[in-house]
């Protein structure tokens, strides 16, 4: 599995330039290493500011903001927390390594090990696909637009002119007193455009999005449970979350 992770990371370094060009038409083709914070410049001189988990930023003040392919000037790139995939990887390793070891031990004496090998290849391919999808997930934000590339590769580009407001709140975790920040970007008609959950994005990343977009920010003063939010603001939730009505507010 460790070799598979390294192989996928090398693959990402090769295809990142193509992904960048597809996400930002007119951008210069330039590969970069995942996990390194660097100031880069697009064709025309507009800087790209990359932000990784923790919200740390590097800006290029010497580059010009004019002449980029999208006309958006300086952009900030955000990635979800890397520890989420690391934790999932360790859990998968803890499950599959002993499992396949036992299967090989049982199947080699009777000659049925090729079927185990096929199963291992399938699992490895699924893991690599999930890894590449996670590494491709990102948000680009500037003063003129926000671009999201989701886990399944869908790219959504929205100009700031279509954004009405940003709602920020604290949401209780299931059966706990702990809360996680939630950021919701709403369109002019009140529909949900983009949601950033604290499980995946840092507070610094949310602050960066709100600051760059410049839309009115509406903070909700009191933490809410998922049940409360599904009743009071159902338009902010995914369809499957709106069906959760029976969770109670944790007692202090």
State pLDDT tens for residues 219-241: 988 888 888 888 888 778 877 77
What span, in angstroms and rounded, lies between the C-alpha atoms of 250 and 252? Answer: 6
Cα–Cα distance, 24 to 20 (Å, whole number): 6
Q: What is the pLDDT of residues 11-49, one digit of tens each?
A: 555 445 445 544 454 443 333 333 333 334 444 444 444
Using the structure block, give the residue that is written with the tokens 């903070």: 219
The encoded tokens of residue 167 equal 């709602």
Token pair recorded at residue 58: 């590097």
Question: Which one is predicted more confidently, 155 or 65?
Answer: 155
Distance CA 57, CA 50 (A): 6
What pLDDT score does 10 carry? Answer: 55
50-108 residue pLDDT tens: 444 444 343 333 333 333 334 445 788 999 887 878 888 899 999 999 999 999 999 99
Q: Which pLDDT value is given to residue 104?
A: 94
Query: Would you state the structure tokens that stand for residue 198, as one six-digit string?
Result: 């604290």
Q: How far is CA 191 from CA 12, 41, 153, 184, 218, in A?
A: 34, 34, 22, 10, 15
- Among residues of the chain, what percentage have pLDDT more than 90? 33
**How far apart, in Å, are the Cα atoms of 93 and each of 1, 115, 171?**
7, 20, 32
Mean pLDDT of 160-171: 91
Q: How many beta carbons lie within 10 A of that of residue 229, not counting itself? A: 20
């Amino acid at each position: 599995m460790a070799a598979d992770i390294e192989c996928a990371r090398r693959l990402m370094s090769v295809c990142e330039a193509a992904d960048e060009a597809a996400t930002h038409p007119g951008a210069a083709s330039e590969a970069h290493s995942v996990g390194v914070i660097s100031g880069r410049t697009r064709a025309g001189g507009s800087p790209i500011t990359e932000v990784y988990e923790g919200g740390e930023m590097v800006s290029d003040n010497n580059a010009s903001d004019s002449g980029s392919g999208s006309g958006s000037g300086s952009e900030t790139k955000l990635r979800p927390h890397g520890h989420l995939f690391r934790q999932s990887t360790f859990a998968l390793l803890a499950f599959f390594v002993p499992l396949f070891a036992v299967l090989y031990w049982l199947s080699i004496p009777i000659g049925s090990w090729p079927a185990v090998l096929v199963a291992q290849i399938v699992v490895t391919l699924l893991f690599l696909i999930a890894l590449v999808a996670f590494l491709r997930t990102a948000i680009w934000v500037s003063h003129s637009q926000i671009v999201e590339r989701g886990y399944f590769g869908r790219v959504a580009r929205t100009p700031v002119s279509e954004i009405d407001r940003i709602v920020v709140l604290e949401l209780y975790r299931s059966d706990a007193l702990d809360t996680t920040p939630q950021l919701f970007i709403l369109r002019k008609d009140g529909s949900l455009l983009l949601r950033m959950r604290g499980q995946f994005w840092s507070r610094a990343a949310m602050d960066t999005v709100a600051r760059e977009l410049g839309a009115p920010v509406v903070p909700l003063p009191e933490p809410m449970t998922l049940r409360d939010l599904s009743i009071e603001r159902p338009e902010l939730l995914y369809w499957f979350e709106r069906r959760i009505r029976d969770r109670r507010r944790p007692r202090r």
